[in-house]
A and B are shown apart, each in its own frame.
Chain A
């Protein structure tokens, strides 16, 4: 049934024009222009068109190595995350045993950790002067730490910890969607359990696995904090771009940015192509997911419980370490396994020190501006995305998707390149070096989240409600304020909160374009870490985690309110 009609005439022409104008301006200036600008810069040298930038960049061994490292790290991360996440999802989705709920509640913990905070926690726990290394060194009375948190193993360990939830969550959701009667039908037709798994379950799970692989790959490609702090010899592309900019080699940075953008978008296109061929039509009949089985064998049950407990501990340890270190007195943790002296001084400093409170204020203000702008703007965009007959619909959704698909590094570099100096298209409009650069970058990076959240809410909205309101005499504005808005705001606000907290801990893009007078929390954490103020860095991290947890709880409440 076509239900576009009311939406077609929902806004009177001049309103549509205004909304479309706002939508278009943001997309043109926020997405199209910066990305084009980067592309153009990368093909120009001294005002002339040339390929020389690429020739120079691609002839440098470090760059080739960075590309190979980034790709290798991403592929390795995808494989490891799949190896960890998929079996866990099967275990926890298909079976029930003591300890299952504990793990299930903690499983997605790494997702809410800002990458920088996770990195800091890893250094405290697994680093050469961290709790584990010190513990073993002291226990065995070794002269040197037993390992160094450096290079490939360190990066892969950290990536697996932070990104395995993509596989765990999406595989679990995929398993829940599979109708139990399909497996039963296969069994009744004589298929063994392994045949059912291979020929019935896995094919239906493929879309979930592909989606998880894509998310993991893209996140890993964009990863910056971990390579910066413990990448060692492994120099990935994001890091190369960062150092090129630090050196002041803008053209080099821009050219490498284009390379990184192409790899990321290429991965997106590749996965979506492949996914398109593996989509299954939804079954006509409603089915029920399989009930969780109780593990019958006592030994297996003990084993499952042990696995659950170990994983729960592994998941919590980095965060627990962060909490512990945040209470350590400065200088009290040198060669001991655990800090020897505890204090509240680190937290007191956060609230007393004007510099620290200013940092919080900065991050709050900038994230709030970005999140609220994203919320307001998403209402403009979704108006158009809802219209099935709107010609530019696919283009608009593609443009909204692009900043999400691009690594934060790319977004920051492209905005900096486009709005770095007075240009022909902009007159004297410059963002770089002003307060506004970070709110703009945050907005661009995280508005896709808000748009998606609002879109999902709108899709759940029964279109006949708006029609009923229309037939009862409500004008367009009344329909929007009295029917649409009351029903979609919980979802939209939940999405906005999510964008807000991610922006709050943002580091990758911030480090490239922040203004010294307007430093966000992440920059403060990194500089405390460099100055070996471990307790202070940890305290910042803990406060961030607390804010994020509260926001996620509120968002979860709102989500439930919606349904």
Chain B
């Protein structure tokens, strides 16, 4: 039995399908991320978990019981909203105590739990302050304190850091993770920022266009994207359109790129193979593309010309035209390279990924 399960939930607004048949399991004690570009349906999914939105079809189970039709106030999940949604007419104390009042706690218990929640978010003694006098970061902490004060069974985050400036965002990020771990809470965290998701989450589901594309640990998603949409959404990626040449029996596949007509070899699993006559996509990260000015005759080595070098501080991106196939390579130092220089590009076969056929 899993902690939280979404069983094929869908939700449409008018004619747009915001969430389409999402199946998902979240384990107890896990920091789970929902990652995707804006408008992909991740917030709607979170709102359905919170009970703020009702799925058109499918069901939501929490600890074995069906909560699909339970109103939000009876779920006992804490939620941190993107705009914090602090009550402007209440001070910090009353904001944090709001959920406790709704639960008819005694005054003494309320005071104690508000104090400890404020302590946890490092805002002790801020109770009497009006919320509009706080900085963005402090408001954010109050929102978190308010959500954890009710001792939630599940903590939901809707892009909570997106309104903070960059330096504060990273600091708050690690504090947030530490807090959730310390309290032993389970969290579902929605974000469009992959770096944030990678840093925070134990497991991540990538959503694109209302569909769940892939679920896995951050590293898995990054290095072995299953879908073209995942590969292109998570960081930069070279997508190479190719046709399979080898028979399906061999463990190593042979592919011919449609642009440039290069032959590439990579290990493939039998079940991933596409029909021979259909083009497939191969992906390789720019940082895995090796570049050299020497003439190499290694496997998966292509001849090309340097088209452009983009300096970006710690790294540089080198754009190479390999006989019509455009590739990006990420290098630490671009000293030896010049524009229009011939070079060889090596695509290590263990770094090449075969994406599931077509556009998913």
Interface residues of B in 149-176 (CB under 8 A from A): 150, 156
Taking the nearest CB of chain B, how far is it from the CB of A311, in angstroms?
A: 39
Chain A neighbourhood of B147, CB < 8 A = 471-472
- The reply to whether the CB of B78 lies closer than 8 angstroms to some CB of chain A is yes
The contact of A473 among B54, B85, B103, by CB within 8 Å, is: B103
Chain B neighbourhood of A469, CB < 8 A = 87, 98, 102
A275 to B81, CA, bound (A): 38
Interface string of B304-321 (1 = CB under 8 A from A): 000000000000000000
* Contact call A483/B99, Cβ cutoff below 8 A: no
From known contacts A5-B53, A467-B52, A487-B89, infer whether A473 and B81 are also in contact, taking CB-CB under 8 Å.
no
- The reply to whether the CB of B300 lies closer than 8 angstroms to some CB of chain A is no
A465 to B90, CA, bound (A): 12
Taking the nearest CB of chain A, how far is it from the CB of B56, in angstroms?
A: 12
- The reply to whether the CB of A428 lies closer than 8 angstroms to some CB of chain B is no
* Contact call B87/A473, Cβ cutoff below 8 A: no
From known contacts A486-B89, A487-B88, infer whether A471 and B102 are also in contact, taking CB-CB under 8 Å.
no
Chain A neighbourhood of B231, CB < 8 A = none
The contact of B83 among A6, A462, A475, by CB within 8 Å, is: A462
- The reply to whether the CB of B117 lies closer than 8 angstroms to some CB of chain A is no
Interface size of B by CB at 8 A reads 33
- The reply to whether the CB of A470 lies closer than 8 angstroms to some CB of chain B is yes
Taking the nearest CB of chain A, how far is it from the CB of B237, in angstroms?
A: 30
Chain B neighbourhood of A468, CB < 8 A = 79, 81, 85, 87, 146
From known contacts A462-B83, A465-B85, A487-B88, infer whether A472 and B146 are also in contact, taking CB-CB under 8 Å.
yes
Interface residues of B in 65-105 (CB under 8 A from A): 71-79, 81-83, 85, 87-89, 98-99, 101-103
Interface residues of A in 460-485 (CB under 8 A from B): 462, 464-465, 467-475, 478, 482-483
Taking the nearest CB of chain A, how far is it from the CB of B295, in angstroms?
A: 52
A186 to B286, CA, bound (A): 45
* Contact call B88/A470, Cβ cutoff below 8 A: no
Chain B neighbourhood of A60, CB < 8 A = none
- The reply to whether the CB of A424 lies closer than 8 angstroms to some CB of chain B is no
The residue on A at minimum CB distance from B72 is A470
A482 to B89, CA, bound (A): 10
The residue on B at minimum CB distance from A472 is B99
- The reply to whether the CB of B51 lies closer than 8 angstroms to some CB of chain A is yes
Interface string of B98-121 (1 = CB under 8 A from A): 110111000000000000000000
A472 to B105, CA, bound (A): 13
- The reply to whether the CB of A194 lies closer than 8 angstroms to some CB of chain B is no
Interface residues of B in 218-244 (CB under 8 A from A): none
A1 to B53, CA, bound (A): 11
- The reply to whether the CB of B47 lies closer than 8 angstroms to some CB of chain A is yes
- The reply to whether the CB of A9 lies closer than 8 angstroms to some CB of chain B is yes
The residue on A at minimum CB distance from B43 is A1
From known contacts A9-B71, A465-B85, infer whether A474 and B54 are also in contact, taking CB-CB under 8 Å.
no
* Contact call B76/A5, Cβ cutoff below 8 A: no
Chain A neighbourhood of B51, CB < 8 A = 470-471
- The reply to whether the CB of A59 lies closer than 8 angstroms to some CB of chain B is no
A548 to B76, CA, bound (A): 49
Taking the nearest CB of chain B, how far is it from the CB of A164, in angstroms?
A: 38
Given A6-B72, A462-B85, 19 new contacts (CB under 8 A): A2-B53, A5-B52, A5-B53, A8-B54, A468-B85, A468-B146, A470-B71, A470-B72, A470-B73, A471-B50, A471-B73, A471-B78, A471-B79, A472-B73, A472-B78, A473-B103, A482-B98, A482-B101, A487-B89
* Chain A residues at the B interface, C-beta cutoff of 8 Å: 1-2, 5-6, 8-9, 462, 464-465, 467-475, 478, 482-483, 486-487
Q: 10 interchain pairs (CB within 8 A)?
A: A8-B54, A467-B50, A467-B52, A469-B102, A470-B52, A471-B51, A471-B77, A471-B156, A473-B102, A474-B98
